Amino acid sequence: MGTGHFFWVIFYFASLCSASLANNAKINFREKEKKVLDQILGAGKYDARIRPSGLNGTDGPAIVRINLFVRSIMTISDIKMEYSVQLTFREQWTDERLKFDDIQGRLKYLTLTEANRVWMPDLFFSNEKEGHFHNIIMPNVYIRIFPNGSVLYSIRISLTLACPMNLKLYPLDRQICSLRMASYGWTTNDLVFLWKEGDPVQVVKNLHLPRFTLEKFLTDYCNSKTNTGEYSCLKVDLLFKREFSYYLIQIYIPCCMLVIVSWVSFWLDQGAVPARVSLGVTTLLTMATQTSGINASLPPVSYTKAIDVWTGVCLTFVFGALLEFALVNYASRSGSNKANMHKENMKKKRRDLEQASIDAASDLLDTDSNATFAMLRQCEVHMQAPKRPNCCKTWLSKFPTRQCSRSKRIDVISRITFPLVFALFNLVYWSTYLFRDEEDE
């Protein structure tokens, strides 16, 4: 009889276990989620207009933690001083009114796609110019409610943000573009934004930008005080370094080549006026076109940029080469005119001397023959004396005069002076802008 009683007890417990397993197998967790949502968000049970309580249910401000995932950075515009970014934006806070039973850990979280069903922080991007949500194929947004009342809000957005730039060192500059997030209506007495602990900002790997490199990013707080109170604010500073290789190939090397080409006129003959003028004018116009093209891609700022110094000095060198030829041409023509005038004066003096000798000889014809003969001999000596240097001058006239050598001397000096001064300028320019401290930048 005892053995039979024991058998029936085991059979009873086995039946209970099998029935419990059968009931669990029939549980529809999606139906349970619906019931839980109706229970915590039903009419008259939850008011999305009321903010959550503070930490540990106190009356302090609601704490909202933020983290970002930067998916891509599309463009960085120097003219408009803005940049475009696509990111996944996440907020997380605790609302104790949304606590629910997780059915022994089987309901990990509830998912919503309607943000207006729960209270949402009134965050906005203070330096935003344009922005839009992504709705293909479905709206890229979700809300997760965890059993302890924690709420996670995630959305994918694209933003065009203002980025004030200092272009004094352009194109050897670094720029800091910020992303600012602040509360619009809730003061710090009611709402406080904090960065999520650990890794609040993530950036996609292999982020490629056409003309910039993202060196690093920093997170910080930027609370602001106004007449209506103090508002919580967060910011991310993105430090971009401009890629210099593009500008070296497109701007600096072509400008150097134009300056060097303008020096070719120093080796051309002084008489090749069309060639030297054409070379100087062509290089000057090309340099002016290059400068205007550079300025067209930049905003009209009131200060001098590094690229302005470079193009301005290069333009000055090209213009100086053209002025050098004008000086050489003037010296050459002035020398030839003076040589002609000197030759004419010598001829005139020789004619005057000959005429004076003839007149003196005619006046002495009435005197005695001896005196006349002596005077004629003396006149012959005086008349023959100035003929000696004339022969030398005739021989020396085959060589360039002093004025002609002066114009050539200008070309020779320019061949040495222009390259040396340009090399000195390059030394000062690159040492000034390349080795400047980051604090000065």
User: Residue 35: which pLDDT band, with cuts at 50, 70 and 90?
Assistant: confident
pLDDT greater than 50 at residue 5: yes
CATH 2.60.120.380 corresponds to the domain 32-242: no
Backbone angles phi, psi at 56, to 5 degrees: 60, 35
pLDDT greater than 80 at residue 54: yes
pTM passes above 0.75:
no
For residue 382, give the H/E element and its range: helix 369-384
Domain ranges of the chain: 32-242, 244-337+404-440
Q: What is the C-alpha end-to-end distance of the chain, expressed in Å? A: 98
Give the pLDDT confidence score for residue 352 in this predicted structure: 65
Flag the least confident range among 19-23, 105-109, 119-123, 357-361.
Answer: 19-23
Give the pLDDT confidence score for residue 275 in this predicted structure: 87
Distance separating alpha carbons of residues 297 and 80, to the nearest angstrom: 10
CATH 3.50.50.60 corresponds to the domain 244-337+404-440: no
Q: Return mean pLDDT, the chain.
A: 81
User: Residue 403: which pLDDT band, with cuts at 50, 70 and 90?
Assistant: very low
Instruction: Calculate the alpha carbon distances from 26 to 21, 22, 389 in Å.
Output: 9, 6, 134
SS3 384: helix
User: Residue 418: which pLDDT band, with cuts at 50, 70 and 90?
Assistant: very high
Give the pLDDT confidence score for residue 39 in this predicted structure: 83
Q: Give me 228's structure tokens.
A: 């209506």
Share of the chain above pLDDT 70, in %: 76
Burial of 75 (0-12, 13-18, 19+ CB in 10 A): middle
DSSP per-residue string spanning 29-41: HHHHHHHHHHHHH
The answer to whether the CB of 122 falls within 8 A of the CB of 184 is yes
The answer to whether the CB of 411 falls within 8 A of the CB of 263 is no
Give the pLDDT confidence score for residue 104 in this predicted structure: 79
Distance separating alpha carbons of residues 358 and 176, to the nearest angstrom: 96
pLDDT greater than 50 at residue 187: yes
Give the pLDDT confidence score for residue 373 in this predicted structure: 44
